[in-house]
Structure 1
Amino acid sequence: MTARIEFSVRLVAGKQRHRLDRRHARMYTPDETLRAERAIAAACREAMAEAGIQPLPFGPHEPVILTVDAYRPLPESRPKSVRSEPDTYKPDADNEAKLVMDALNGLVWADDAQVVDLHVVKHPRVRGQAERMDISIAPGWSGRKDETEEM
């Protein structure tokens, strides 16, 4: 069984849409998205190396559970009386998840279709809190008989 992988990245971003380069008639991924994907992949590689986990620890059809916890600071422009507020702003939770899943393709799993259980939590924005995403990857339910009896 594959071990759990946990790491943090000091950014909160969402997957942006592909853009059209009209001069060359081709689609491209925005630089901001590429930088965020590289930062997530680098943090994951470092966590895997520290834990002694080889690349692609999950087999091609092995189910995976992915949890993304996003933390962002309260903007300085908010009144001092406001100490925290729900994070109902961009990026959307599904775009945050897509960014993480695409960044980990070919590193943790062969294809992000292996993610069978996805949790994305945008925690309340708190004054002075550092911007970060805590990412956790764990083996998913395999459907074996002994696992169904435990439930």
Structure 2
Amino acid sequence: MSDPITISLQGAPQGKGRARAFVRGGHVGHYTPQKTRSYESMIFGAAVDAMGGRPPFDEPVQVTLRAIFPVPASWSERKRQKAIVGEIKPAKRPDLDNVVKTWTDAMNGVVFVDDAQIVWMSLEKRYGPAALVVCTVQPIGGAQ
């Protein structure tokens, strides 16, 4: 079994944007919004760096993802401290499942061969002193 990989990306967590449709020449096409493509590109680059030339995992993996949101500047110091210690949770957009989808799609072919290999996940949204996403992928072995 291989060592786990941890990828960190500074900045506010972003969710996967919905595919947009357009009509051109009587044909319907779809595209991913630019904001989503840019964020996935940043994740991809961080994943390539974290892998350090290692091949992608080709076995079942577990993913642990922590999305840390900035505390709103307008909040009082008391409320800010409650948020940082976890007493107040960021029950707001983006949805956690959309954040995870962005990350797993961006790591396809880099950290693991395919996101179908993910058999277990641990996810968290919380406030922190700085916006950040930390994702750890660990092979867990076992039959495929």
TM-score class normalised by the smaller sequence = 0.7 to 0.9
Asked if 1:95 is matched to 2:95, the reply is no
Match of 1:82 in 2: 79
TM-score (norm: length of structure 2): 0.85
Asked if 1:37 is matched to 2:34, the reply is no
> Of residues 26, 30, 40 in structure 1, which corresponds to 2:29?
26
Q: Deviations over 1:82-117 (max 9, x none)?
A: 122211011111111111100001111121110000
User: Are the counterparts in 2 of residues 5 and 137 from structure 1 also a CA contact under 8 Å?
Assistant: yes
Match runs of 1:1-151 below 5 Å:
1-11=1-11, 12-23=13-24, 25-49=28-52, 53-56=53-56, 58-59=57-58, 62-83=59-80, 84=83, 85-123=88-126, 125-126=127-128, 129-142=129-142
Q: Identity over aligned residues, as a percent?
A: 34
The count of aligned residue pairs is: 135
- Structure 1: distance between partners of 2:42 and 2:10: 9
TM-score (norm: length of structure 1): 0.82
CA RMSD across the alignment: 1.8
